[in-house]
A and B are shown apart, each in its own frame.
Chain A
Amino acid sequence: MDLYEFQGKELFRRHGIPVSEGRLAMNPAQAREAAQQLGCPVVVKAQVLTGGRGKAGGIKVADSPADADARARDILGMDIGGHVVHKVWIERASEIAREYYLSLTFDRGAKKPLFMFTRQGGIDIEEVAASSPEALVRFHVDPLEGYHPWQGRRLVYAAGVEDPGEQKQIASIAGKLFDVFLACEAMLCEINPLIVTPQGEVRALDSKFTVDDNALFRHADLAEMRDLEAGDPLERLAREKGVTYVKLDGEVGVLGNGAGLTMSTVDVVTFVGGRPANFCDLGGGGDAQGVVDALSVITRDPQVRSIFFNIFGGITRGDEVARGILQALSQMSIEDPIVVRLDGTNAEEGRRLLQDAAPPNLHVEATMLDGARRAVELAA
């Protein structure tokens, strides 16, 4: 789960990483009030779970409370990469002498947390890694040994930070970043830029924070940070129904059981010339109600013109899936053609159920490839 900048900064603050004081505003009046309380100039920052806010005009400086009101008016409602801005973060503007970059990532390749630090902050880190890899200091922490202060010192010396005051502050922030990474079971904690003010004070000016969904059961405070309004409305509906659904941009609705098989089905639909409308994974269980729920999400997408069920029964039973399809067809009016391919546990019984009921818009195919071809034809 990705967190908003203001949420990440709040976690930074709780763990002793210096951040600017700020307030959250949901409307222009709140932005004005926040600017009044904080003292101008302030920065009005769009809160969206995507990058490129600055380039899109989602970050603006305001010199007065009235100006903050006007800037918030501009930014709220803006669409940034498909994400609509519903809230802005107002914080006291910072004077910036230098911009650095500091992050801690869950490096799944090395299976260790990875520190990255460079004095070339404020820009895309992939750019730094490509153009001047020598300027990017990388350092892995052993998961069993944990963090030791020398590791923070190693980062600042290796990157060539010369000012002793900066060295001390950054090394200390590195330790605190490790604390918050561990405490929140984060997959990513990124500070870009980590600024140095003209007075020599080091502070986190932005935050990118991702936590592990699998660990949320023991972090009630983080779980509450989930913005139920964010993201695609269909993906939201799917989440409420407990269906794993990712919206894509085509016409063939894809429904499979298991992430790998569903991903593969999306690929195969593409390879035979179609465009998948979604990725929808029934999961391991795949009972009749699950099928009904999944179909109700898929058919809400107006782009969908055909639906391809690709089910390989293991724990999921083919007859249960067939019952679910028939139940859904009797409960909802689905006009789109449905192509079903069933294999594995109780697949024969499932196919028989479908053939006996024989709804007019239902097509049973023998293999995954044939099913994909048929669904693509029917969507054309």
Chain B
Amino acid sequence: MAILVDTDTRLVVQGLTGSEGKFHGLRNRAYGTQLVAGVTPGKGGQDVEGVPVFDTVVAAVTETGANTSMIFVPAPFAADAIYEALDAGIAIVICITEGVPAHEMLRIHAYLRTRDATMIGPNCPGVLSPEKANVGIIPAEIFREGSVGLVSRSGTLTYQIGHELTQLGLGNSTIVGIGGDPVVGASFVEVLARFEADPQTEHVVMVGEIGGDEEEKAASFIESEMSKPVVAYIAGFTAPPGKTMGHAGAIISGSAGTAQAKKDALEERGVRVGTTPTEAAELVAALARA
């Protein structure tokens, strides 16, 4: 099983002819992902190492049966690309692009509620289901196939924790980077719900950071809706208020959104929280051995 991407994924890359889109699209294909199409307006009819390029997403869907899109277009055009993918009936939209304006994301988030589709990102490393499919920029060699679901707001921190899990002999069902922006498509709760329903996933690691209240919402969801054990890690305990820590979403305003508040909310609802990535990985290993 696994979630979001697997052997049934038929991937179209919006922006396949750009340097990053090409590099990562082909890298995903080399991993085993079914890369069926690219979209670049004005370049329809061309191909990128045998992958056909179309002018529109709807043409790519009609011709190739693409069901998942990875977006690599520059930030000023990313929102348009997301709407185009949704309109073409793409079920899973994964937007890697960094720097999408927050107001665009408010409208996209509201629009998503009217569609039967899931969006991951923007400003995210993508989704990897080890041994099945990789869609995005996650370095797959760090991860092994297994039963731990991993969901995170951060890219490299995900790699760190994945690496620690691998060192402890644990593998992953799926690794989902939901992105570090203030408003993203799928939240922790949506991904947790998918892990809960996935037979391959037995434990879940949730990697949060300062800012917003998605970890708190996840805490309530875990308590009321999840049977599988969840371990959390939160970054930014020592971040000063009012400063953006690299991610647009990682800023504390007032007392809300601190790492401590998130840790408290999670622990009150029975979720174990590691204070370092190493400790979080060890907590999962202890659960897996039990």
A268 within 8 A of B: yes
* Inter-subunit contact A344/B142 (CB<8 Å): yes
Interface members, chain B 184-222 (any A CB < 8 Å): 207, 209-213, 217
Nearest Cβ in chain B — how far from A203, in angstroms?
A: 27
Q: Which of B160, B210, B211, B249 contacts A261 (CB 8 A)?
A: B160
Q: Which residue of B lies closest to A261 (CB)?
A: B156
Given contacts A126-B254, A259-B154, A369-B278, is CB(A108)–CB(B212) below 8 Å? yes
* Inter-subunit contact B110/A143 (CB<8 Å): yes
B127 within 8 A of A: no
Nearest Cβ in chain B — how far from A13, in angstroms?
A: 22
Q: Which of A182, A276, A367 contacts B238 (CB 8 A)?
A: A276
* Inter-subunit contact A260/B207 (CB<8 Å): yes
Q: Which of B106, B159, B212, B237 contacts A112 (CB 8 A)?
A: B106
Q: Which of A185, A257, A262 contacts B102 (CB 8 A)?
A: A185
Write the B97-122 contact mask toward A (1 if CB under 8 angstroms, else 0): 00111110011011100000000000
> Residues of A contacting B163 with CB < 8 Å?
312, 343-344
> Residues of B contacting A343 with CB < 8 Å?
159-160, 163
A225 within 8 A of B: no
Which of A213, A260, A268, A270 counts the most chain B CB atoms within 10 A? A260
Q: Which residue of B lies closest to A245 (CB)?
A: B246
B276 within 8 A of A: yes
A111 within 8 A of B: yes
> Residues of B contacting A213 with CB < 8 Å?
248
* Inter-subunit contact B110/A315 (CB<8 Å): no
B52 within 8 A of A: no
Write the A263-285 contact mask toward B (1 if CB under 8 angstroms, else 0): 11011101100001001010010
B44 within 8 A of A: no
* Inter-subunit contact A263/B156 (CB<8 Å): no
* Inter-subunit contact B100/A267 (CB<8 Å): no
Q: Which residue of B lies closest to A372 (CB)?
A: B276
> Residues of A contacting B107 with CB < 8 Å?
143-144
Interface members, chain A 189-222 (any B CB < 8 Å): 212-215, 217-218
Nearest Cβ in chain A — how far from B206, in angstroms?
A: 13
* Inter-subunit contact B246/A263 (CB<8 Å): yes
Q: Which residue of B lies closest to A260 (CB)?
A: B154
Interface members, chain B 257-274 (any A CB < 8 Å): 259
* Inter-subunit contact B245/A214 (CB<8 Å): no
B277 within 8 A of A: yes
* Inter-subunit contact B100/A368 (CB<8 Å): no
Q: Which residue of B lies closest to A218 (CB)?
A: B76
B43 within 8 A of A: no
Nearest Cβ in chain B — how far from A223, in angstroms?
A: 13
> Residues of B contacting A182 with CB < 8 Å?
103
Write the A312-325 contact mask toward B (1 if CB under 8 angstroms, else 0): 11111000000000
Which of B153, B159, B212, B278 counts the most chain A CB atoms within 10 A? B159
Using a Cβ–Cβ cut-off of 8 Å, how many residues does chain A contribute to the interface with B?
A: 51
> Bound state CA distance, A244 and B109, in angstroms?
28
A187 within 8 A of B: yes
B137 within 8 A of A: yes
Q: Which of A218, A244, A344, A367 contacts B278 (CB 8 A)?
A: A367
* Inter-subunit contact A312/B101 (CB<8 Å): no
* Inter-subunit contact B278/A259 (CB<8 Å): no
Q: Which of A111, A244, A248, A279 contacts B106 (CB 8 A)?
A: A111
Interface members, chain A 338-370 (any B CB < 8 Å): 343-345, 367-369
> Bound state CA distance, A284 and B123, in angstroms?
11
> Residues of A contacting B237 with CB < 8 Å?
267, 270-271
> Bound state CA distance, A344 and B278, in angstroms?
16
> Residues of A contacting B207 with CB < 8 Å?
260
B227 within 8 A of A: no
* Inter-subunit contact B183/A108 (CB<8 Å): yes
Nearest Cβ in chain A — how far from B183, in angstroms?
A: 6
* Inter-subunit contact B183/A248 (CB<8 Å): no
> Residues of A contacting B154 with CB < 8 Å?
258-261, 263
> Bound state CA distance, A191 and B124, in angstroms?
35
* Inter-subunit contact A217/B76 (CB<8 Å): yes
* Inter-subunit contact A109/B212 (CB<8 Å): yes
Q: Which of B182, B245, B246, B247 contacts A106 (CB 8 A)?
A: B182
> Bound state CA distance, A264 and B61, in angstroms?
41
> Residues of A contacting B240 with CB < 8 Å?
246, 248
Q: Sample 17 A-B pairs with CB under 8 A, ordered by A number.
A: A109-B217, A111-B110, A144-B107, A258-B246, A259-B154, A259-B245, A260-B157, A263-B250, A264-B157, A264-B160, A264-B235, A264-B276, A266-B239, A313-B139, A315-B137, A343-B159, A344-B159
In the complex, besides A260-B180, A312-B160, A314-B138, 10 extra interface pairs with C-beta distance below 8 angstroms are A108-B182, A126-B254, A143-B103, A215-B103, A218-B101, A263-B210, A279-B245, A312-B159, A314-B156, A344-B139
Residues on A facing B (Cβ under 8 Å)? 106, 108-109, 111-113, 126, 142-144, 182, 185, 187, 212-215, 217-218, 244, 246, 248, 256-264, 266-268, 270-271, 276, 279, 281, 284, 312-316, 343-345, 367-369
The 9 closest A-B pairs by CB, nearest first: A260-B154, A259-B246, A258-B156, A260-B157, A215-B101, A261-B156, A263-B235, A143-B106, A264-B235
